[in-house]
């Protein structure tokens, strides 16, 4: 079943409220585009997902089913670099000169590079102690070693 | 405070310095990296006991310009040193004024609802 058909069927089954469309960067496994719909009568949520490759990321647009998905698809297009077939996704949020797709996991966060992690200090240490070389320092959670 | 807010409101974060052991857990868990802690080690010699090393807090600052009011620091604190206080209205015209040091954080303990401390 195609992505658009899946969304269409859910809508016809009662999930008439379009909540959100976003994406997840699965790195080597490509991208997952996720869509949440809500059935207001049955009070049931529908979580739909589709995948696309990293090399040629594109999925069909669901704007024909939910016009309100247009903004979400434009946002996903610029944040993840995913194309939506049948939808001319103009940039939505980022400044015109912005380069790259900031929600991709390989996008280096400049703010995280520039700022010293406050947790690098151990109990009983201040900023001056960070100058002393140490074999093991605590590393920030949820961040990664960026390729230099 | 000028307007009544519910007890469970996330106004601002208060610090009980006496409970804080400078363990760094909050600073390390903070997703926004907005908590800065400086401390030093001090040896305490008590009568009839072996000398022991304690951590003395030198600086505790929260940058509320970065904070997103998630409350993770309050959740992870093993010593119940951090609390949600009802105090609000801390907007500033300069980002530097959004950084609140321990003196402010301590004073907000007065705005922590009864029963949570």
Complex ipTM value: 0.81
C-alpha dist (Å) from residue A58 to A84, B23, B100:
6, 47, 46
Partners of B40 on chain A (C-beta within 8 Å) are 124-126
Q: Is the pLDDT assigned to residue A143 strictly greater than 80?
A: no
CA distance to partner chain B, nearest, from residue A117 (Å)? 7
Q: What is the pLDDT of residue A145?
A: 65
Strand-pairing partners, residue B14, are B83
* Rounded Cα distance, B106 and B81, in Å: 10
* Rounded Cα distance, A145 and B6, in Å: 43
Q: Is the pLDDT assigned to residue A144 strictly greater than 70?
A: no
Nearest to B38 among A119, A127, A140 (CB): A127
Residue B69, both tokens: 């009011």
Interface of A with B in 103-122 (CB under 8 A): 112, 115, 117-119, 121-122
Pairing type for strands A17-25 and B52-63 reads: unpaired
| A95 near B CB under 8 A | no
Interface test with B, best of A111, A114, A123, A129 (most B CBs within 10 A): A123
- Asked if the Cβ–Cβ distance from A124 to B53 is below 8 Å, we say yes
- State phi, psi for A21 to the nearest 5 degrees: -130, 125
Mean pLDDT of chain B: 93
* Rounded Cα distance, B79 and A83, in Å: 49
Of residues B31, B34, B28, B55, the one with CA closest to residue B43: B55
Q: Is the pLDDT assigned to residue B80 strictly greater than 70?
A: yes
CA distance to partner chain B, nearest, from residue A5 (Å)? 38
Partners of A127 on chain B (C-beta within 8 Å) are 38
Q: What is the pLDDT of residue A101?
A: 94
Q: Is the pLDDT assigned to residue A113 strictly greater than 90?
A: no
CA distance to partner chain A, nearest, from residue B103 (Å)? 18
* Domains of chain A with bracketed CATH: 3-124 (3.30.460.80)
**Per-residue pLDDT tens digits for A53-108:** 999 999 999 999 999 999 999 999 999 999 999 999 999 999 888 999 999 988 88
Query: Taking the alpha carbons of B47, B53, B56, B62 in that order, is the dihedral positive or negative?
Result: negative
| A45 near B CB under 8 A | no
Interface test with B, best of A125, A132, A138 (most B CBs within 10 A): A125
Q: Is the pLDDT assigned to residue B75 strictly greater than 60?
A: yes
């Amino acid at each position: 079943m195609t992505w658009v058909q899946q969304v269409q069927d859910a809508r016809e089954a009662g999930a008439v409220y379009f909540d959100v469309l976003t994406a997840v960067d699965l790195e080597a496994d490509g991208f997952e585009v996720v869509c949440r719909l809500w059935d207001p009568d049955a009070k049931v949520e529908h979580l739909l997902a589709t995948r696309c490759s990293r090399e040629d990321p594109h999925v069909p647009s669901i704007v024909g089913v939910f016009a309100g998905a247009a903004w979400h698809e434009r946002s996903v297009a610029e944040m993840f670099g995913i194309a939506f077939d049948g939808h001319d996704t103009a940039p939505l949020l980022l400044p015109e000169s912005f380069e790259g797709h900031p929600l991709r996991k390989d996008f280096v966060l400049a703010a995280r590079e520039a700022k010293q992690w406050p947790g690098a200090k151990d109990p009983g240490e201040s900023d001056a102690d960070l100058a002393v070389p140490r074999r093991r320092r605590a590393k920030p959670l949820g961040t990664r070693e960026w390729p230099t | 405070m000028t307007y009544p807010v519910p007890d469970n409101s996330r106004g601002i974060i208060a610090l009980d310095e006496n409970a804080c052991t400078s363990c760094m857990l909050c600073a390390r868990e903070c997703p926004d990296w907005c908590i800065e802690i400086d401390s030093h080690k001090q040896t305490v010699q008590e009568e009839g006991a072996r000398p022991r090393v304690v951590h003395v807090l030198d600086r505790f600052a929260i940058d509320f310009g970065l904070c997103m009011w998630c409350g993770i620091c309050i959740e992870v604190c093993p010593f119940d040193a951090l609390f949600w206080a009802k105090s609000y209205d801390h907007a500033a015209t300069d980002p530097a004024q959004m950084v609140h040091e321990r003196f402010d954080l301590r004073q907000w303990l007065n705005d922590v609802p009864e029963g949570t401390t």
